[in-house]
Structure 1
Amino acid sequence: MLSLTTVLLGSGLILRANAFVLPFRSPTSCCSLLNAEFNGDPEPKVFSNTPLQATEYESLSTYWTPAARLNPTCIFTPTNTQDVARAVKLFTRKNCQFAIRSGGHSYNPGWAGITDGVLISLYGLNTISYDPIHGLASIGAGNRWTDVYGALLEHNVTVLGGRNSDLGVGGYLTGGGISYYSNDRGWATDNIFSVEIVLADGKVITASRHEHKELFRCIKGGSNNYGVITKFVLETVDASKPFNAFAIGFPATSNNDFISHAYEYCTNGSDADPKSHIIFAASISKVDGFANGILGSYSDVFDAANPAPVLRPFFDGTVPGNAPGFLSANGTIKVATDLLSIVQAPGTRYAMGTFSVYADIQLFHTLRGIWEEETTEELKDKPGFMTEFAFQPIGEKWLAASAAKGGNSFGITSPLVMVWLQPRWDSALDDAMMVEYTDRVRVRCEQAAKAAGKFARFRHLNYGGRNQRNEIIPSFGAANVLRMQLNKLHYDPLNVFGRLVPGGFKIPGF
């Protein structure tokens, strides 16, 4: 049974859950129980790594980055919400550990996978429908954005979704979700109208701004802590106008001009023209050396010879040496995101780490200097090595759009700049070195930001590294953490999605 102790510390309420439970049931036994539960179904839904099921098991075990792959004892493939409810109820009753995967795009092993346990693969929950009267799209949690964009563009609408169309819907939305439309419409998670969620006891409820509204707010940034979301109903965006996405490279000699105009966009440009969207990045590799670059978009008619003022410095030579390329030129968001999914094809090993700062031009130089210094020749010599250091602003209009829709769990009260580091490499033998490198750069950068008085508390969940497990949700602030804790106690009092779902970023105390 679960003992819950409430401890008052200062002005904050800290909830500490201490579980006194029977040992976890063996994963082999759990898979047998699951097989028995669904034995009468017309098609198999439980797959193990046996000679008879090896092909299906292998195809269901793929992840965007092999660095995140684990081998579950068996894989469960529900085709509807009631399948999920039956399975979760069984896992709760029998004390079986499990993991939940929508698209499998997480960088971190165990976040959407498990070794000794059951993997729930939601890919069969792939329905998509559009309600033109209310302007809402109903999306099964197992979809990938390429299918969502394709289905909705037939109605001249789209939704706030991944910039890489291969991402799964579920983890992206519950982690926040940065969209090409975010400067105008806020976080993708704030454009959720409602969710259908399976709770630990197998009960299925709908959460929205009108029912279970406190849970609904906690889900927006709550990841896998409250239940298994099987369906999202999303607000839609008019897609009748052309959509443009572009990638522009700049040489190392452009550094000063590049950072200067990046700073200008971060402090003014994203609010001045919210149809625009830019990620500022730099990369280092042994073959190509150092380069600057942007990934950007414009959600209206676009002329590269006469771009919108906030984009002009990156096209007209003000930032010298530009080499532009288009993912979509007056096309569609599906074309743009599908092409990016090809550029960012699965199969490469990645790690990630993130933090946030308040915009400061000198700090931008300092942070990139730390990253360059830590990117040693030993790292560059590793097969397939490349490292990227990127930042992106969250402006006033982004925050206002999110607040107007009821808010989320993030606790951001003023504009800031998200920063993230992403190395990639080929060999599993180098995994530990790359994770250590990522953490070392991140910690040094955070120290520099704090010394400059420009460190921002927030850390974006979808960019969090495997060693930031205890940093992400606490970065949302005490009031939001408390709200999440209280709703956790109400909706998951036995902490099933903490104890039995070991992966992911967890709510403190659970």
Structure 2
Amino acid sequence: MASIDSLHYPSQAEPLIQNGLKSRVLLPTDAAYAARIDSYWCNSAKLRPSCIVQPQSAEEVSKAVVALAKANQLFAIRSGGHTNWAGSNNITDGVTLDLGLLNSTEYDDTNQIVHLGPGGKWKDVYDELEKHGRRVAGGRESDVGVGGFLLGGGNTFYASFYGLACNSVIAYDVVLADGRIITAEAEGDHADLFCALKGGGNNFGIVTRFTMRTIPGGPVWGGLAIHPLDVIPAGVKGVVDFTTNNASDLYTNMQFVVGYLPRFGGNICLTIANNMAAIEKPPSLQKFLALPEIMNNYKTTTLQEVITYSSLPPNYYNIWFTLTIKNDASIILKAAELHDQMAKELQAGIPDQDFASHVSFQPLPYLFVQKSHVANSSGNVLGLEQNTGDAIVIQASVSVRTAELEAWARPKVRALVDEVRAFANNIEGGVMPWMYLNYSHSSQEVLQSYGPENVRRIREAAWKYDPEGVFQRLCPGGFKISALKI
């Protein structure tokens, strides 16, 4: 006779139930299941797993991993739920291991460090740390999750001081495939894993706690300005100059964006800028502040408000591709020109105009590379040191309402990035090797971009800490080291 559980629970949930996690399992018929699926930022990620398991501790994560591995059950790992491509953090006909309840922010005043759960979001992290007058070198957008952001490197407002955000992590608590819970630090038995987690994604285990250094908090100055399209050449010159001179003003950040953004009136370009020391209208931004404006909302405010300015609306199908280029005005102008062409195609093909597109140009000065090594002498696996000079990270994005439109628009975004790459390849050093994981499409060769030595380090750590290949075979989401040709 069938058991009561087998009559109500799918077979994928049975190993979890047998391992004592029945109360943590959400089924497709549960309201909480529907709420968790709906809470994914991007519609592309709203797949239908057979069940969701929501552990409340590292020990319960361990129970779930052991159960799934023993049953050879396919699973996905969700932290904040912001990664946009299908299958990155969710799964069809499998189990989604949802870390959303591991979302604590615990400040240690004695050591001025903070322990962060992977399921937290940066807006909540900053809210809690503000009570103590502290903050971390974390995310630049309010709804991005802690886990995926840090495991992908994490571009931060403080990169001029510390490099990417992962360099401010001083310890990782990790659940391995065999159920062990270990702490990886810069020194000790797991120093190789500590290094590999700084950019290596989910190839090794599940991080259940990040320990980070904190820094003094306080007000910031910042906001965004919308410009008419004819300022693009001057804006591009401003990007190049700002990137070249970044070392003269470490507290100021900016990005320049060309886009079709209905919430801002359609075809526009804009500057997003801030100063983390609350210096109003800093000298390094004068070229941008002098540009003609349709509006701006620059002011002295909180970090929590500043991180809302780059937020994109939820419930679209989002397509992202990325490329890192030399800090060269001609390449940036070419990308802006190609975006204009793509936006016209999108406008012609989407009659109700309910879409958004943009190309963002974000400075990646060589100083970021140098600061990464100063802040993190144990290293990382990002391979930023391959960059030979100042660079610009390009994020090309389109947001549409349906899966059919996503399939139609995706080749257009890919073509834009490919054409920029082809143009830049005609300029000496025009294309930089490194690719930012958190902006990459699933088809892009991210881990390869880290360079052969870092690929070797990731591979060795993956097989050392997961010799059975559980996170390679059973967890298809993310950029997998096993997919790379040796």
TM-score by length of 1: 0.87
Alignment correspondent of 1:147: 124
Report the CA distance shift for 1:130/1:378 in structure 2 as closer, same or farther (over 3 A). closer
Question: 2:41·2:81 contact (CA, 8 Å) conserved in 1?
Answer: yes
Q: 1:447 aligns with which of 412, 415, 422?
A: 422
Correspondence 1:126-205 to 2 at 5 A: 126-205=103-182
Question: 1:439·1:467 contact (CA, 8 Å) conserved in 2?
Answer: no
**Structure 2: how far apart are the matches of 1:380 and 1:494?**
51
Q: 1:49 aligns with which of 14, 20, 28?
A: 28
Q: 2:34 aligns with which of 51, 58, 61?
A: 58
Measure how far apart 1:126 and its partner are: 2.0
Task: String of CA shifts for 1:305-327, please: whole Å, max 9, x gaps.
Answer: xx211012222x2x23362113x
Alignment correspondent of 1:31: 13
Q: Root-mean-square deviation (CA), in Å?
A: 1.8
Which amino acid in 1 is paired with 2:334?
Answer: T
Secondary structure of the corresponding residue to residue 481 of structure 2 = coil
Asked if residue 495 in structure 1 is aligned to residue 464 in structure 2, the reply is: no
Question: 1:474·1:508 contact (CA, 8 Å) conserved in 2?
Answer: no
Which amino acid in 2 is paired with 1:451?
Answer: N
Question: 1:195·1:231 contact (CA, 8 Å) conserved in 2?
Answer: yes
The percent of aligned pairs where both chains have the same amino acid is: 28
Question: 2:346·2:409 contact (CA, 8 Å) conserved in 1?
Answer: no
Q: 1:216 aligns with which of 191, 194, 215?
A: 194
Alignment correspondent of 1:433: 408
Asked if residue 233 in structure 1 is aligned to residue 211 in structure 2, the reply is: yes
Report the CA distance shift for 1:430/1:205 in structure 2 as closer, same or farther (over 3 A). same
Task: String of CA shifts for 1:226-248, please: whole Å, max 9, x gaps.
Answer: 100000001111113x2122111
Measure how far apart 1:103 and its partner are: 0.7
**Structure 1: how far apart are the matches of 2:74 and 2:278?**
50
Asked if residue 256 in structure 1 is aligned to residue 233 in structure 2, the reply is: yes
Which amino acid in 2 is paired with 1:29?
Answer: S
Alignment: residue pair count: 465
Alignment correspondent of 2:341: 373
**Structure 1: how far apart are the matches of 2:365 and 2:422?**
24
**Structure 1: how far apart are the matches of 2:271 and 2:197?**
31
Question: 2:320·2:439 contact (CA, 8 Å) conserved in 1?
Answer: yes
Task: String of CA shifts for 1:445-487, please: whole Å, max 9, x gaps.
Answer: 111111223011111000001322xx01000011111111111
Report the CA distance shift for 1:484/1:334 in structure 2 as closer, same or farther (over 3 A). same
Asked if residue 505 in structure 1 is aligned to residue 479 in structure 2, the reply is: yes
Task: String of CA shifts for 1:11-36, please: whole Å, max 9, x gaps.
Answer: xxxxxxxxxxxxxxxx9323122123
Correspondence 1:475-494 to 2 at 5 A: 475-494=449-468
Task: String of CA shifts for 1:338-377, please: whole Å, max 9, x gaps.
Answer: x337x52322221100011111111211222223233343
Q: 1:463 aligns with which of 430, 433, 439?
A: 439
Asked if residue 409 in structure 1 is aligned to residue 381 in structure 2, the reply is: yes
**Structure 1: how far apart are the matches of 2:482 and 2:161?**
32
**Structure 2: how far apart are the matches of 1:508 and 1:361?**
38
Secondary structure of the corresponding residue to residue 269 of structure 2 = strand
**Structure 1: how far apart are the matches of 2:204 and 2:178?**
11
Question: 2:100·2:120 contact (CA, 8 Å) conserved in 1?
Answer: yes
Report the CA distance shift for 1:126/1:374 in structure 2 as closer, same or farther (over 3 A). closer
Alignment correspondent of 2:292: 320
Question: 1:130·1:152 contact (CA, 8 Å) conserved in 2?
Answer: yes
Asked if residue 123 in structure 1 is aligned to residue 100 in structure 2, the reply is: yes
Structure 1, gaps ≥5 residues long: 1-26
Secondary structure of the corresponding residue to residue 67 of structure 2 = helix
Asked if residue 346 in structure 1 is aligned to residue 314 in structure 2, the reply is: yes
Task: String of CA shifts for 1:5-58, please: whole Å, max 9, x gaps.
Answer: xxxxxxxxxxxxxxxxxxxxxx9323122123225x7xx2001112xx2x1110
Alignment correspondent of 1:100: 77
Task: String of CA shifts for 1:159-181, please: whole Å, max 9, x gaps.
Answer: 12222221111001100111122
Q: 2:273 aligns with which of 288, 293, 296?
A: 296
Q: 2:88 aligns with which of 105, 111, 114?
A: 111
Q: Name segments (4+ residues, structure 1) moved above 6 Å.
A: none
Which amino acid in 1 is paired with 2:462?
Answer: K
Measure how far apart 1:381 and its partner are: 4.2
Task: String of CA shifts for 1:86-119, please: whole Å, max 9, x gaps.
Answer: 1101111111110000111011010000002100
Alignment correspondent of 1:4: none
Alignment correspondent of 2:6: none
Q: 1:273 aligns with which of 249, 271, 274?
A: 249
Structure 2, gaps ≥5 residues long: 1-8
TM-score by length of 2: 0.92
When structure 1 is superposed on structure 2, of 209-218 and 375-384 the one drifting more is: 375-384
Q: 1:282 aligns with which of 245, 249, 258?
A: 258
**Structure 1: how far apart are the matches of 2:332 and 2:123?**
34
Alignment correspondent of 2:328: 360
